[in-house]
Amino acid sequence: MPFITYSLKSELLDNPEKLNIKNFRKFLNDIEELNISNKSILVENEKLDIVNKIAKKIGGLSESLISNKIDEIKELLESACRIFRDSNYCKLSDKGIEKIKIDFIKKYENELDRNFKLETISGAYIPEDFDNKVEKFKNEFLNKIETYILSKSQSTEDKIDTLYIYHKELSNFLMPEVFPILEQPIKKYKFSLDASIKKQKEKLINLNKIEYANNIFLKWLSSMPENIRPKYKILTDIPPSLKREARLKKQKISNELIKAIQAKFEEFLFEDFDKNKFKPEVKLIWQRDLPGRLGWKHKRHWIFCKKILRKENWEKINFFAIKNDFGIEIVDEIDNLKLNEFMELFVVSKKNTKQITDIKKYLAQDTN
């Protein structure tokens, strides 16, 4: 899954002299590999403070041990402090820990499953990984991201502020025609479509794709505690139907019209949602306003980002990113309990790709 959550048995460090050095070193190497790709979360009981406990142990090892073993264990514990501090860190009460799925609890002799570690580091997922079921996807994928968001909430500097979803085609699906959409609610337009007519059926399917998937994200976000819940903002292109209409009439598309269409989209997507919890947004973006010569091309990412300060240098913006070739479309357009069979998710580890650079530049530009 996108992260491996792990914890440490407190007894493990009561007598560090008893550590199986080879076994514990292998465990540290596993965690360090996960840390490199930002794929580990250390979940700790707030009463224990294990990392500091390890640091204190280093200076108090029994002098009765053979000196070379003392040196080896000290070096091992120093490595452990460094590696555990490099993990995403989540400190919780007993009740808080009960709500989180912990993948691995390190004891004296057990080992992290190698295949599970490699799958997590690879970061690539398809519907079959979740038995094609939306519920399993929520439990095993989205809820792991929630644990990550929770871990980041414990640092004021790193707290996740907004989930941005790039989806160029969303505007095309929600506004396949100009005047019916401008003159009536999208939901009413949807109900007017006749599934027995091929072209209308395609429009209906496209509307379902967006509506069903958006509902998954809304339900997931609204179930989060308010103090960690990020804002939700969908970014999409100016509707092609609107651009065609403007060309035919040789008219400019005004900012007022764009705002009216954004409101139409928000009404359709968020109509049944409790606006008191948080206020999701849709933003229409011109191709020319996106950094990079490719503009909208290949931007189908989910971006979990901390609050961006005005005038912040784009190079300093950091975020957790997932690429999905179908943007928001993760649900089957017929059966909303099933995943979209073409869904492919990739958790982005290397942040220096051209698309990620362009996304950073846009987020800084948007804030300013």
Domain ranges of the chain: 4-120, 123-367
pLDDT (tens digit, 9 = 90+) per residue, 106-156? 988 899 999 999 999 999 999 999 999 999 999 999 999 999 999 999 887
Q: Of 136 and 57, which is predicted with more confidence?
A: 136
Pairing outcome for strands 104-106 and 88-92: unpaired
Given a cut of 70, whether residue 56 has pLDDT beyond it is: yes
**Which residue, chain included where needed, has tokens 């395609």?**
202
Question: Poorest-confidence range of 58-67, 230-239, 254-263, 346-355?
Answer: 58-67
Q: What is the pLDDT of residue 350?
A: 66
Residues 334-347 pLDDT 10s:
999 999 999 999 99
Which pTM was predicted? 0.91
